[in-house]
Amino acid sequence: MFDVQKRVLSYRGRVIKVMNRYWNWTSVIVVLVAMGAAAQDNAQVPVSTSSEAPKQSSHFNNTPTFSERYPRYRLSASDSFDVVFEYTPEWNQTMTVQPDGYITMRSVGDVYVSGLTVDQAKQKLEEVYGKILNRPVISLSLRDFQKPYFIADGRVNKPGKYELRGDTTAMQAIALAGGFTAREARTDQVVLFRRVDDNWVETKVIDIKGMQKTGNLSEDVHLRPGDMLFVPQNALSKIQQWIPLYSVSMMGAQTKTF
């Protein structure tokens, strides 16, 4: 009887060992399959490890891009326009953009339109009035608006704000401002400021003296609306390509109108 029990226990031990070995290998296979699937998923979804910010390209070039750069006028403070309702003329109004960029429309209140094109403002008003009217059809017609301009400042004979009519280069803009003042102007270090967004201005140093001397006008930059030319009196140290908008005031620019 004792021998039989011993054999049973021995047989049971061997069975348990085989089962443990089987489950261990099964676990290993399951883990390997899971790792393979995860690796395949990772291979299909590449992960970017670059921490570098995208480089911003320069806004300066030597081609006339005024019409391409600003194909549509954008509303700003003091602009006025007629709002015409095609099917409900009793809602027609004449609006003037307030200094904060809002207009106050009848029955709907304040609507922010500064920075919008005429078409964008039209769509926005149709959306706003669509809440109280049935599918309103609205058209906008500009009455008075800010014309494109550039600013000439520093050592020029007639510093100020000038209307930008058609294609105008930096040298032509200096001529419109009465040319350089005698002896004082650093004509080889004229600085062009170009606003690129609400916070940053891009700068470019232009050697007008060199262009006049050699007759090579390849560096004569074409102006865009809002550009400012600053003619210094003294030699400038190295100027950064990107500077905060408020820093332009240190060079004599009027940041509120730039």
What pLDDT is stored for residue 31 in this prediction?
36
d(CA 199, CA 119): 26
Angstrom distance (rounded) from CA 171 to CA 220 = 7
The tens-digit pLDDT sequence of the chain (258 residues) is 445 445 544 555 554 454 455 444 444 333 333 434 433 333 333 333 333 333 455 545 544 433 344 457 889 899 999 999 999 999 999 999 999 999 999 999 999 999 899 999 999 999 999 999 999 999 999 999 888 899 999 999 999 999 988 889 999 999 999 999 977 788 899 999 988 776 788 889 999 989 988 888 888 999 988 899 999 987 665 566 655 655 555 454 443 333
Q: Which is it for the CA torsion 118, 119, 120, 124, positive or negative?
A: positive
CA–CA separation, 139 vs 136, rounded Å?
A: 10
pLDDT at 110: 97
